[in-house]
């Protein structure tokens, strides 16, 4: 291979965003013939993440789903809300299953090239952009990257910078204790250790589930603290002692929850995707559905001979909503739990999910906010007024 080879499209980074974009490119008849380069320092499927999302459609990759649920549960302030999801379903996909499928298809495609290499930088080029790697320099009219932070990342304004951090165990219990038709979306009825804290439960059978102990806060915990929290939760909620279950798999993660304005471009002709493109929703950490929708928009543009849009991942009003909620999570975690309680207690789950997807209209949002305590949001607006009134 020539180290100056030119491709129609370069994808830098083979995480959820890069693989999703490659999948959509290969699935579209107008883009499947384009010469695509996928580069990452590791191109081996690894089970290190579990991606969850909701959808109301038949999915083209439904065979990759590890499980789906028709009902979501939320516990807060002593109440247990059980919410049938129709017309939605809540889905779970494992990162190694997804990566294996996409990478195998790519290796069998004559138009896709895979290169395992580190990625050093990007720059505009006279005919597009260039990607610099230890393996060589590669050029394309379109580069989509999720591998590097933008050059001025550390100097970008950030007023609130939290992290969603968690440890999860997939366990197999010695007796049936789970409902495989119901996923626990958020269980706040656990000790709130000066931060918003909840458990997340994805049952795959009546004996097997992925259970995560999750925080919205600035600081991470020690491994021992996460593990003790999980053990206590399994004991308190399911009466499972350590000898009553086997740990099949461990998963941990840290997701940014901040008001930083992630730019659409790294530089001219290099589009940011995934978390680097602002696709992680600041107030919830949800990313996977937003990545898939972003991939679809990019491919639609390329198929029509247009450049992908250069715009923020969220509109101004949803940025404001996220900032208001982030402030409460940061400064008033007990109020944030009350807000979550009221949100699920007083609203239809279908409206909540569309709101989290940023697919509601303003009248629906007024109705939703009118069901919540009003003072915390006015407080957030006042405390964050400089950020909000300077464009969020």
Cis peptide before 87 (omega within 30 of 0): yes
Kindly list the distances between the CA atom of residue 141 and the CA atoms of 130, 138, 169, 229, 270, in Å, as whole numbers in the listed order: 9, 11, 43, 49, 9
Give pLDDT tens digits for 58-114.
788 899 999 999 999 999 999 999 999 999 999 999 999 999 999 999 999 999 999
Any idea what DSSP says for residue 307? P
pLDDT of residue 13: 98
pLDDT of residue 59: 82
- 132 beta partners: 121, 137
CATH number among 3.20.20.70, 3.30.9.10, 3.90.1170.50, 3.40.30.10, domain 161-258: 3.30.9.10
Asked if residue 360 has pLDDT above 50, the reply is yes
Any idea what DSSP says for residue 264? S
CA distance 251 to 170: 8
pLDDT of residue 236: 98
Kindly list the distances between the CA atom of residue 344 and the CA atoms of 56, 77, 110, 173, 349, in Å, as whole numbers in the listed order: 19, 12, 49, 30, 7
CATH number of 9-51+94-154+259-303: 3.50.50.60
- Using CA atoms of 271, 274, 279, 285 in order, give the dihedral in degrees to the nearest 10: -160
Give pLDDT tens digits for 169-187.
999 999 999 999 999 999 9
Query: 60: closest CA among 339, 296, 314, 254?
Result: 296
Asked if residue 4 has pLDDT above 90, the reply is no
Give pLDDT tens digits for 242-265.
999 999 999 999 999 999 999 999
Evaluate if pTM is beyond 0.85: yes
CA distance 208 to 2: 50
Q: Which two tokens stand for residue 15?
A: 């995480």
CA distance 154 to 164: 20
Query: 188: closest CA among 351, 334, 5, 296?
Result: 334
Query: 317: closest CA among 355, 272, 372?
Result: 355
* Beta-sheet pairing, 196-203 with 79-84: unpaired
Domains 9-51+94-154+259-303 and 161-258 share a fold: no
Helix (H, G, I), strand (E, B) or coil at 203: strand
CA distance 323 to 314: 12
Contact residues for 152 (Cβ-Cβ < 8 A; gap 6+): none
Give pLDDT tens digits for 260-293.
999 999 999 999 999 999 999 999 999 999 999 9
pLDDT band at 56 (very low <50, low <70, confident <90, very high): confident
Calculate mean pLDDT across residues 2-13.
Answer: 87
- Using CA atoms of 289, 292, 294, 295 in order, give the dihedral in degrees to the nearest 10: 170
Mean pLDDT (the chain, rounded): 96
Query: 145: closest CA among 28, 312, 15, 33?
Result: 15
pLDDT of residue 1: 45
Any idea what DSSP says for residue 110? T
Cβ atoms of 38 and 140 within 8 Å: the answer is no
pLDDT of residue 5: 87
Query: 321: closest CA among 279, 276, 284?
Result: 284
Q: At what angle do helices 349-356 and 362-370 cross, to 10 degrees?
A: 120
Contact residues for 156 (Cβ-Cβ < 8 A; gap 6+): 150, 260, 261
Cβ atoms of 260 and 323 within 8 Å: the answer is no
Q: Cβ of 83: how many Cβ atoms within 10 Å?
A: 18
Domain edges within the chain? 9-51+94-154+259-303, 161-258, 316-388
Calculate mean pLDDT across residues 363-380.
Answer: 97
* Beta-sheet pairing, 65-69 with 79-84: unpaired
**Over pLDDT 90: what percentage of the chain?**
94
Contact residues for 132 (Cβ-Cβ < 8 A; gap 6+): 119, 120, 121, 122, 123
pLDDT band at 3 (very low <50, low <70, confident <90, very high): low
């Amino acid at each position: 291979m020539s180290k100056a080879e030119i491709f129609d499209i370069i994808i830098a980074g083979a995480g959820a965003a890069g693989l999703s974009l490659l999948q959509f490119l290969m699935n579209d008849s107008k883009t499947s013939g384009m010469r695509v380069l996928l580069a990452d320092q590791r191109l081996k499927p690894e089970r290190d993440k579990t991606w969850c999302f909701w959808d109301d459609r038949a999915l083209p990759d439904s065979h990759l789903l590890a499980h789906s649920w028709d009902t979501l549960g939320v516990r807060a302030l002593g109440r247990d809300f059980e919410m049938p999801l129709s017309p939605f379903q809540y889905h779970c996909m494992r990162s190694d299953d997804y990566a294996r499928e996409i990478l195998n298809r790519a290796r069998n495609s004559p138009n896709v090239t895979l290169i395992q290499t580190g990625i050093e930088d990007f720059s505009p080029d006279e005919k597009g952009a260039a990607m610099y790697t230890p393996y060589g320099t590669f050029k394309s009219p379109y580069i989509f990257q999720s591998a590097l932070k933008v050059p001025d990342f550390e100097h970008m304004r950030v007023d609130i910078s939290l992290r969603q951090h968690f440890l999860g165990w997939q366990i197999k219990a010695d007796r049936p204790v789970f409902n495989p038709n119901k996923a626990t979306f958020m269980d706040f009825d656990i000790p709130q250790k000066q931060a918003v804290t909840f458990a997340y439960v994805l049952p795959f059978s009546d004996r097997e589930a992925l259970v995560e102990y999750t925080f919205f806060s600035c600081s991470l915990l020690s491994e021992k603290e996460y593990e003790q929290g999980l053990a206590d939760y399994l004991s308190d909620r399911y009466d499972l002692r350590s000898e009553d279950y086997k740990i099949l798999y461990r998963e941990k993660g840290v997701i940014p929850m901040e008001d930083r304005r992630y730019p659409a471009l790294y530089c001219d002709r290099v589009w940011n995707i995934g978390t680097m493109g602002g696709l992680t929703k600041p107030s919830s950490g949800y990313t996977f559905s937003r990545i898939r929708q972003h991939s679809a928009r990019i491919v639609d543009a390329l198929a029509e001979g247009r450049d992908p849009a250069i715009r923020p991942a969220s509109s101004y009003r949803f940025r404001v909503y996220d900032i208001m909620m982030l402030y409460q999570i940061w400064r008033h975690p007990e109020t944030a739990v009350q807000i979550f309680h009221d949100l699920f207690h007083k609203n239809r789950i279908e409206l909540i999910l569309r709101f989290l997807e940023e697919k509601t209209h303003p009248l629906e949002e007024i109705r939703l906010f009118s069901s919540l305590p009003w003072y915390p949001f006015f407080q957030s607006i006042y405390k964050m007024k400089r950020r909000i009134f300077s464009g969020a």
